Amino acid sequence: MLRLAAALVGGSLVAFVLANSTPVSADDKNPTNEEIMKKINGKNGSHKLINKALATNPPDWDTITKHAKIYADLAALLEKNKPEKGDAASWKKLSQAYAKDAKALSDAAAKKDTQKAKEVFGKLKESCDTCHENHRD
């Protein structure tokens, strides 16, 4: 019974977080690159929320931890998709590095490691241009 309640609450949380952008349900196994990026970088995306929460003193770990997990889960889905343009090997390399950094951010958030979270978040910020130049129309 407790597991069922936890699953329902977790499912409700995912639905709530994803409600502010293009619909992607928990049942979607392959959201598009655009859908993933809107969830990460959109108006109420995890990237912006983490950036704001990391800037507070002390950092807002509840927000960071929650959205770093979402960020990592979504970033891990990119490799399964095809790029809009460019070489598949480059896409694989860049999307894997992005997912690895997003996972490192989630791990740092779970440990409330401010220095590591800021370091990895900086790497994530820097990765945008390279990937967009090579793989986005």
The CATH number of whichever domain residue 100 belongs to comes to 1.20.120.10
Taking the C-alpha atoms of residue 1 and residue 49, their distance in angstroms, rounded to an integer, is 33
User: pLDDT at residue 102 above 60?
Assistant: yes
| pLDDT higher than 80, residue 4 | no
Say if residue 106's pLDDT is above 90.
yes
Of 22, 25, 21, 1, nearest to 12 (Cα)?
25
Range of the domain at 129: 2-135
Residue 22 has pLDDT above 80, yes or no: no
Number of domains in the chain: 1
**What does the pLDDT look like over 34-64, one tens digit per residue?**
999 999 999 999 999 999 999 999 999 999 9
pLDDT tens digits for range 78-101: 999 999 999 999 999 999 999 999
pLDDT of residue 24: 44
DSSP for 31-64? Answer: --HHHHHHHHHSTT-HHHHHHHHHHSSS--HHHH
Largest CA distance in the chain: 49
* 31 prior amide bond cis, ω within 30: no
Statement: residue 3 has pLDDT above 50: no
Structure-block tokens of residue 35: 């859908």
